[in-house]
Amino acid sequence: MKRTIKSYVLRAGRISNRQQFALDNLLAHYEVPFTGTFWNWSELFKRDAQTVVEIGFGMGASLLAMAEAHPEQNFLGIEVHRAGVGSLIADLHEKNIENVRIVVHDAVEIFTKQIPPESLAGVQIFFPDPWPKKRHHKRRLIQPELIKTLAAAIKQGGFIHCATDWEEYAQQMLEVLSNENALINKMSEGGYSPRPETRPVTKFEKRGQGLGHGVWDLIFIKK
């Protein structure tokens, strides 16, 4: 899979003292380096367990809550923005959560070079950048090529779970996911899924709901 258009723009955002301390002193404990060869999940997490990947975890609120609620699962978080990485690392350290690892690299490269085929229990992508302007739609993360790549990485019966608060992007997600032959919509009648209890409601989402914003969840299962 070759994709030269990135779905993100790296900006030199402000990093708090707490985030910087975590990056300087704690990152090595949680980070998985990009090597270009397939990972072995049992070696990476030092145990045998189902592994779920979150692409673009932002400030890490959802990933933190899910890892805390499901200590029996392994979680790999992918994020390129250092403020979010620092924030999640600090939280993981404070709560002594050990079932999360982080990789600071482009998700497309990770899935094509690091993740073995049919090795994941699931992939989650919550509130990716909607790139609302039409000329920027090509930057959107959810594209047919990527979904095909993600589907190849998950086991039979595994899931791809996307969520967005941008209705037009939700429609595109539904179309792209529905057109992938390896996947089937968890909703037998098609369409969007109710938010599962496994996906935490973040402060950002609660604020949007208070303003009347909708949220659309899509859950597709590997055939």
- Binding-site residues from annotation for substrate: 133, 165, 202-205
Kindly name the residue from 24, 48, 91, 129 that is annotated as catalytic. 129
24 is catalytic: no
User: Residue 101 has which token pair?
Assistant: 């690892």
Please state, in angstroms and rounded to a whole number, the distance separating the CA atoms of residues 209 and 176. 26
**What residues are designated binding site?**
54, 79, 106, 129, 133, 165, 202-205
Please state, in angstroms and rounded to a whole number, the distance separating the CA atoms of residues 135 and 137. 6
* DSSP assignment letter at 193: B
Closest CA to 19 of 125, 78, 92: 92
**What residues are designated binding site for S-adenosyl-L-methionine?**
54, 79, 106, 129
CA atoms within 13 A on the CB side of 47: 11
* Residue 97 CA, distance from chain mean position: 18
* DSSP assignment letter at 138: G
Please state, in angstroms and rounded to a whole number, the distance separating the CA atoms of residues 174 and 196. 17
Contact residues for 91 (Cβ-Cβ < 8 A; gap 6+): 60, 64, 97
Which residue carries 């599962």 as its tokens? 196
Beta bridge pairs of residue 103: 78
User: Residue 74 has which token pair?
Assistant: 């392994």
Question: What are the catalytic residues?
Answer: 129
